[in-house]
Amino acid sequence: MNQHTKGLLPSRVIFTLAWRNLWRNHRRTLIMLSAIMVGVWAMIFMTSLLRGMVDDMLYNGIRNLPGEVQIHQRNYRDDPSINNSMPPADAKLLAVLNLPIIKAWTSRIKVPAVIASERDSRGVILLGVDPQSEVELGFDLDSISSGRFLQGVDDNGLVIGAKLAERLETRLGKRVVIMSQDPDNNIADRGFRVVGIYRGKLASQEEMNVYAGRQTLQKMLKLGNQISEIAITAEDYRNTYQWFATIENATTLPQQAIPWYEADSYLSTMMVTMDGFVLVWIIVVFMTLSFGLVNTLVMAVFERTREIGLMQSLGMRPALILYQILIESFLLLLIGLVAGNIIALLTIIPLQDGIDVSNVAQGMEMMGSSSVLYPALKMQDMLLANAIVIVLGLLTSLLPAWHASRLNPVEALSRN
Residue of higher predicted confidence among 184 and 179: 179
- Which span out of 321-325, 335-339, 388-392, 402-406 was modeled with the highest average pLDDT? 335-339
Are 189 and 239 within 8 A, CB to CB? no
- Please tell me the predicted confidence (pLDDT) of residue 398: 78
pLDDT of 245 over the 50 cut = yes
Cα dist. 31→11, 99, 293 in Å?
27, 57, 10
User: What φ, ψ does residue 301 adopt, rounded to 5°?
Assistant: -65, -45
Q: Supply the pTM of this predicted model.
A: 0.68
pLDDT of 164 over the 70 cut = yes
Are 102 and 136 within 8 A, CB to CB? no
- Please tell me the predicted confidence (pLDDT) of residue 3: 46
- Please tell me the predicted confidence (pLDDT) of residue 125: 92
Nearest CA to 130 out of 85, 163, 179, 88 is that of 88
Cα dist. 237→55, 58, 169 in Å?
10, 9, 38
pLDDT > 70 in the chain, percent: 84
- Which span out of 135-139, 178-182, 354-358, 383-387 was modeled with the highest average pLDDT? 178-182
Q: Which residues contact 290 (CB under 8 A, 6 or more apart)?
A: 392, 393, 396
Average pLDDT over the chain, rounded to an integer:
81
- Please tell me the predicted confidence (pLDDT) of residue 8: 46
pLDDT of 80 over the 80 cut = yes
- Please tell me the predicted confidence (pLDDT) of residue 5: 43
pLDDT-derived band at 21 (thresholds 50, 70, 90) equals confident
Mean pLDDT to the nearest integer, 107-127 = 92
pLDDT of 315 over the 90 cut = no
Mean pLDDT to the nearest integer, 382-389 = 82
pLDDT-derived band at 1 (thresholds 50, 70, 90) equals very low
Nearest CA to 188 out of 216, 228, 160 is that of 216
Q: Which residues contact 161 (CB under 8 A, 6 or more apart)?
A: 197, 198, 199, 200, 205, 206, 207, 208, 209, 210
| Residues making up the chain, counted from first to last | 416
Mean pLDDT to the nearest integer, 243-253 = 87
- Please tell me the predicted confidence (pLDDT) of residue 6: 45
- Which span out of 226-240, 285-299, 372-386, 390-404 was modeled with the highest average pLDDT? 226-240
- Please tell me the predicted confidence (pLDDT) of residue 300: 64
Cα dist. 130→139, 187, 199 in Å?
11, 24, 19
Least confident among 177-181, 234-238, 353-357, 409-413:
409-413
